[in-house]
A and B are shown apart, each in its own frame.
Chain A
Amino acid sequence: AQSVTQPDIHITVSEGASLELRCNYSYGATPYLFWYVQSPGQGLQLLLKYFSGDTLVQGIKGFEAEFKRSQSSFNLRKPSVHWSDAAEYFCAVGSGGGADGLTFGKGTHLIIQP
């Protein structure tokens, strides 16, 4: 069975500092990987996705993520965070080209310090 681990429940970062959110997955075949963000009271918004090809993928809002097969990781990064980035971040893995039900990690709550 596929699974996703986000080891950090909470992360606090100063505004303007760099950010890295960790994600490790377990999946037997080629994974389809996603990062979603959820602001309070909102649904999930897709930040970026990896299906194949270049292992460094760019997303919206200045985010990027790197797929590392040898480490079974798909960490999310941003060079300089803004206060508006405070939210819950979810990593997910899918099969069937991403068209099957996704398996999500427990999420990382990002707090931005002024």
Chain B
Amino acid sequence: GAGVSQSPSNKVTEKGKDVELRCDPISGHTALYWYRQSLGQGLEFLIYFQGNSAPDKSGLPSDRFSAERTGGSVSTLTIQRTQQEDSAVYLCASSLRRTSGSTDTQYFGPGTRLTVL
């Protein structure tokens, strides 16, 4: 079946502009995760959703970053007033379920490479 898809694959923007990154999870996966991969910081967890709610936003680097998920499916990560340090690859992952006492595996999309000039 189809895996996690992300769009766009590449995004170049000017400093100060807003950007939206999209993630389509694997069909039926209720949990969705955003990560950022940069040369200096490696892979960092940003936020996860269970259904449409986000119990853990602890990884969002600043209040310029926000994310939403609608219909328990597609998610959008928005970065307002982009800065050069926001340049990175943004990865999305999804997993089948999140229930207490169960185990889970995250499946990753190909990522969106964001370049802020």
Contacts and interface: CB of A to CB of B under 8 A. Distances in A.
Interface of A: 32, 34, 36, 41-46, 49, 51, 90, 92, 96-107
A100 B56 contact: yes
Contacts, number: 65
A49 B98 CA distance: 17
B109 A46 contact: no
A46 B98 CA distance: 18
B110 A32 contact: no
Interface in B39-78: 42-48, 56, 58-59
* Most chain A CB inside 10 Å of its own CB: which residue of B95, B97, B105: B105
Size bracket, chain B contacts: 20 to 34
Contacts of A106: 42
Contacts of A99: 31, 95, 97-98, 102-104
A104 B58 CA distance: 16
